[in-house]
């Protein structure tokens, strides 16, 4: 009797230990967080969200994050394309199938169901249910309905756009040297028109200026004096910058030989020229269009309240207005806070993504509204000259915030913001190679 009692004790202990072991292997059910888009907003959520609490699923037609501030540098070979993109799959998914190379085609907020269409196999259509959804699909370049833009102009939003521009520039130089090319045709081929004087247009013009000064002078020296660039802007260039910095940038552009600043608007784009508002025809071999933003297909077909620009309206906590379940959020260029509009910049989208990741991870109160604090703006104007517009320092001395000092700050700031150490190593190597050996002008399709 006594022996049997002692024998029961270890058996009971073994059973209880086994139960504890089984309980420890059973993880609590994680919520499903779906992110649409891999731009600044979506990537910021993906990087910062607590992945212990969520199964994070990303749906995007692009499998990388693009560091857009340096995109213009790739159009002339200052940087290589792969130096400014970060593969999304390196962000640490719990399951390889949690990234979908697909378009979002429809959203049923009532039933929490997202409809998708595969990029690689368009016939493959499927649905994903979610607990929380973040819409960060970005925006397109706005053509404002100008005839010929879609057919003949080049945009500068994605790596594929920069690659097309790079090939067109190289094609035009080679064609200008053709045995049967007339002088007038050569001048047309080597004339680039940039439409839009925002940061993208100005920085592309700056990179093109450096290319002409540093590489064309050596590699196409007979054609250097035929290269011309016209920047068309109906209002002020760099409109979001301090007025003194705007004037400084204008002086820099106007002081350059064969670089013109035209205050007008383009009313039509042709295969070989553009037409201005006053009827002037400007022959050219390349048109780069950078004039504002327009909603993507998903955004424009999403039946929720929007502002005049077609952006999805959200409350102060970035939740989509009229979402019955209060679990759909929108960030970045595709969205706008109701009665509190913010600029469409990478800085805003990144900060919104970080704020949202903290809210849904439980680090910040859900009732705490998003507050944006502007850290300043940077722009490159060519010739190792930059502009720095910061709200924290008064612009008492313009020299400190424009010129070589600002160019160093521009490069340093962007270098620290790159998505990974791999890119932080690649970009300086590209800069060094360009400085020592010139830009790579290899043409490939």
Rounded Cα distance between 401 and 410, Å, is 11
**In this structure, what are the phi and psi dihedrals at residue 298, rounded to the nearest 5 degrees?**
-60, -45
C-alpha closest to that of 120 among 192, 53, 63: 63
pLDDT in tens, the chain (445 residues): 434 443 444 444 344 443 433 333 334 588 999 999 999 999 999 999 999 999 999 999 999 999 999 999 999 999 999 999 999 999 989 999 999 999 999 999 999 999 999 999 999 999 999 999 999 999 999 999 999 999 999 999 999 999 999 999 999 999 999 999 999 999 999 999 999 999 999 999 999 999 999 999 899 989 999 999 999 999 889 988 888 888 888 988 888 988 999 999 999 999 999 999 999 999 999 999 999 899 999 999 999 999 999 999 999 999 999 999 999 999 999 999 999 999 999 999 999 999 999 999 999 888 899 999 988 888 899 988 888 887 755 544 444 466 788 888 888 888 888 878 999 999 999 999 999 999 988 887 7
151/149 Cα distance (integer angstroms): 5
How many CB atoms lie under 10 A from the CB of residue 338? 12
DSSP reduced 3-state for 6: helix
Q: How far apart are CA 351 and CA 345, in angstroms?
A: 10
How many residues are listed for the chain in this entry?
A: 445
Query: How far apart are alpha carbons 257 and 269 in whole angstroms?
Result: 25
Q: How far is residue 399's CA from residue 418's CA, in Å, rounded to a whole number?
A: 27
Q: Which of 113, 96, 92, 95 is nearest to 104 (CA)?
A: 113
Cα 184 from chain centroid? 37
Joined tokens for residue 112: 């929490």
- Which has the closest alpha carbon to 381: 292, 258, 254? 254
The pLDDT, as a whole number, for residue 26 is 39
Q: Which domains does the chain have, with CATH numbers?
A: 31-141+294-361 (3.50.50.60), 150-291 (3.50.50.60), 376-437 (no CATH)
- Measure Cα distances from 32 to 52, 125, 248 in Å: 11, 20, 50
């Amino acid at each position: 009797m006594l022996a049997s009692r002692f024998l029961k004790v270890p058996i009971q202990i073994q059973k209880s230990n086994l139960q504890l072991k089984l309980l420890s292997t059973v993880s609590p059910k994680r919520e499903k967080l779906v992110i649409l888009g891999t731009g600044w907003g979506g990537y910021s959520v993906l990087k910062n969200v607590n992945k212990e609490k969520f199964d994070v699923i990303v749906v995007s037609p692009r499998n990388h994050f693009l560091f857009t501030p340096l995109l213009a540098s790739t159009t002339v070979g200052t940087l290589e394309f792969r130096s400014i993109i970060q593969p999304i799959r390196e962000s640490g998914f719990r399951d390889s199938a949690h990234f979908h190379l697909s378009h979002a085609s429809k959203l049923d907020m009532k039933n929490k169901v997202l409809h998708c269409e595969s990029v690689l196999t368009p016939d493959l259509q499927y649905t994903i249910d979610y607990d929380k959804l973040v819409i960060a699909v970005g925006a397109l370049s706005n053509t404002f309905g100008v005839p010929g833009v879609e057919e003949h102009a080049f945009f500068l939003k994605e790596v594929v756009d920069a690659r097309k521009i790079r090939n067109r520039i190289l094609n035009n130089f080679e064609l200008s040297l053709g045995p049967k090319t007339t002088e007038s045709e050569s001048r047309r081929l080597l004339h680039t028109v940039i439409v839009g004087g925002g940061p993208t247009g100005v920085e592309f013009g700056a990179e093109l200026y450096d290319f002409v000064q540093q590489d064309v002078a050596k590699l196409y020296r007979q054609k250097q004096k035929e290269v011309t660039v016209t920047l068309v802007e109906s209002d002020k260039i760099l409109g979001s910058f301090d007025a003194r910095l705007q004037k400084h940038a204008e002086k820099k552009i106007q002081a350059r030989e064969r670089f013109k600043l035209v205050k007008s608007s383009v009313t039509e784009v042709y295969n070989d020229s553009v037409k201005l508002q006053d009827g002037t025809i400007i022959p050219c071999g390349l048109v780069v269009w950078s004039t504002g933003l327009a909603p993507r297909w998903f955004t424009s077909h999403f039946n929720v309240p929007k502002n005049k620009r077609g952006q999805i309206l959200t409350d102060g906590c970035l939740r989509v207005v009229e979402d019955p379940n209060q679990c759909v959020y929108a960030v970045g260029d595709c969205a706008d806070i109701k009665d509190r509009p913010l600029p469409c910049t990478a800085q805003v989208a990144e900060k919104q993504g970080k704020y949202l990741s903290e809210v849904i991870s439980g680090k910040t109160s859900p009732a705490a509204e998003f507050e944006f604090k502007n850290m300043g703006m940077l722009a490159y104007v060519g010739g190792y000259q930059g502009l720095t517009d910061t709200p924290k320092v008064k612009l008492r001395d313009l020299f400190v915030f424009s010129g070589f000092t600002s160019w160093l700050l521009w490069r340093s700031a962007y270098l620290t913001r790159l998505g990974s150490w791999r890119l932080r190593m690649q970009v300086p190597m590209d800069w060094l190679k360009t400085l020592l050996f010139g830009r790579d002008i290899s043409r490939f399709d």
